[in-house]
């Protein structure tokens, strides 16, 4: 059994972190976000009702959980206030007991948003002011939450009640053996250092950022679990080596409802890329991975898995951040048989069709990490657990 668990996106975001965090929060005491801002969109479906959270941790929908927004995040006070009001009108109580915001987080100001809208086009940013807010932080011209709430304007005044020294708090929780879930936003391939720069977000989205983004030591993280879709998607610009174009791509996008939860943009879709999965496992040191949206692949005759890239005459087996290589390589695929059955109501691994099990086994072998959960639909109950030892 794990004491605390980190959930990290292993591809380009939108892997289904919101749902998984929601499922795991049931047994957690604390859910903490350590990076990003309202560029994230974590979709949760509870009792057939869809809720999309952008900045508030996904544990908010469970009564009695403490949700922390750490110092590594950037916060738009207007968006935060609206998200809280929307939750309250949906019957979810949000107060200073279940939501705590770091005094050292930085504030996204209106000027950051207009700058992002003006300059973020070539990267395909979400236009939420994320890059300019982090740039101001690095440039030492940013505004911390603690400094922002010294003015008494409406949003600052509202924010004030939630603000604390969250590093002190979270270390106390760890000392008290509370179960903590570290909720990653964005993903490994969008990480500022390890992603496909410059087509990345402006924060570190990998496991290393948990320490800096919350103010805890590395030895306090117990299990690091990656989330991977059974195929791959990407929103915005940048390389996607296994991208499916035309009808094949449209079919998968529609079947998987692959439209951005923050911006509504159609997501680009492609086959599972084992090089990316293996790379993410290395960067983050995954103990296991969670495979999501396996149900979306039901009904396809054949599935393809990318096992290498061909570049000029060379075969590449390890993912590279050299965009010149990525832009000019051709994926090498292994083809496996698909399955026809609807798997969205299956509760046990053994009841999955043989070809679905074979597909999962192959993903494990190629990415070098065991699978701990398989998700077969958006609902909490559509979750098949394989490795209890990695979970709460």
Distances in Å between the alpha carbon of 169 and those of 92, 147, 215? 23, 20, 10
Q: How far apart are CA 69 and CA 56, in angstroms?
A: 7
Q: Which residues bind ligand IMP (CB under 6 A)?
A: 13-14, 39-41, 123-126, 128, 130-131, 185-186, 190, 201-202, 235-236
Residue nearest to ligand IMP (CB): 236
CB of 363 vs ligand IMP, minimal distance in Å = 21
Q: How far apart are CA 243 and CA 266, in angstroms?
A: 13
Q: What residues are annotated to the active site?
A: 14, 42
Q: Between 182 and 359, whose beta carbon lies closer to ligand IMP?
A: 182
Helix, strand, coil tally for the chain in percent (to 5): 35, 25, 40
Which tokens hold the place of 92?
């979810």
Q: Is 9 helix (H, G, I), strand (E, B) or coil?
A: strand
CB of 185 vs ligand IMP, minimal distance in Å = 6
Q: Between 87 and 190, whose beta carbon lies closer to ligand IMP?
A: 190
Contact 214, 68 (CB under 8 A): yes
CB of 233 vs ligand IMP, minimal distance in Å = 8
Q: Is 21 helix (H, G, I), strand (E, B) or coil?
A: helix
Listed in sequence order, the residues at least 6 apart from 107 whose beta carbon sits closer than 8 Å to its beta carbon are: 74, 75, 76, 77, 133, 142, 143, 144, 145, 148
Q: Between 268 and 304, whose beta carbon lies closer to ligand IMP?
A: 268
Q: Between 14 and 295, whose beta carbon lies closer to ligand IMP?
A: 14
CB of 129 vs ligand IMP, minimal distance in Å = 8
Q: Between 183 and 295, whose beta carbon lies closer to ligand IMP?
A: 183
Distances in Å between the alpha carbon of 317 and those of 80, 275, 366, 384? 43, 7, 10, 30
265 burial type by CB count under 10 A (0-12 exposed, 13-18 middle, 19+ buried)? middle
CB of 55 vs ligand IMP, minimal distance in Å = 11
């Amino acid at each position: 059994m794990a004491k605390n668990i980190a959930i990290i996106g292993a591809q380009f975001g939108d892997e289904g972190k919101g749902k998984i965090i929601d499922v795991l929060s049931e047994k957690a005491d604390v859910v903490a976000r350590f990076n990003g801002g309202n560029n994230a969109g974590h979709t949760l479906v509870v009792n057939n009702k869809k809720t999309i959270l952008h900045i508030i941790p996904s544990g908010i929908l469970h009564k009695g959980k403490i949700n922390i927004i750490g110092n590594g995040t950037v916060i738009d006070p207007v968006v935060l206030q609206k998200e809280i009001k929307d939750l309250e009108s949906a019957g979810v109580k949000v107060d200073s007991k279940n939501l705590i915001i770091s005094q050292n987080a930085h504030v996204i100001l209106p000027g950051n948003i207009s700058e992002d809208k003006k300059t973020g086009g070539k990267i395909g940013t979400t236009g939420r002011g994320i890059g300019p807010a982090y740039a101001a932080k690095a440039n030492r011209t940013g505004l911390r939450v603690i400094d922002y709430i010294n003015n008494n304007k409406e949003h600052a005044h509202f924010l004030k009640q939630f603000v604390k020294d969250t590093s002190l708090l979270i270390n106390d929780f760890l000392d008290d053996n509370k179960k903590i879930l570290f909720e990653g936003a964005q993903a490994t391939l969008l990480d500022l250092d390890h992603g496909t720069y410059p087509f990345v977000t402006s924060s570190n989205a990998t496991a290393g950022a948990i320490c800096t983004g919350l103010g805890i030591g590395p030895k306090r993280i117990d299990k690091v679990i990656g989330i991977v879709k059974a195929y791959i998607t990407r929103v915005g610009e940048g390389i996607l080596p296994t991208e499916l174009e035309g009808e094949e791509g449209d079919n998968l996008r529609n079947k998987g409802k692959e439209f951005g939860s923050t911006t509504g943009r159609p997501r680009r879709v492609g086959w599972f890329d084992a090089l990316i999965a293996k790379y993410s496992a290395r960067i983050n040191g995954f103990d296991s991975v969670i495979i999501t949206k396996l149900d979306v692949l039901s009904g396809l005759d054949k599935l393809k898995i990318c096992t290498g890239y061909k570049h000029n005459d060379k075969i590449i087996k390890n993912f590279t951040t050299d965009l010149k290589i990525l832009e000019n390589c051709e994926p090498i695929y292994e083809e496996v048989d698909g399955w026809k059955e609807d798997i969205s109501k299956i509760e046990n691994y053994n009841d999955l069709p043989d070809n679905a099990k074979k597909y999962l086994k192959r993903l494990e072998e190629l990415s070098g990490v065991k699978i701990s959960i398989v998700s077969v639909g958006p609902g909490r109950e559509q979750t098949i657990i394989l490795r209890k030892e990695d979970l709460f």
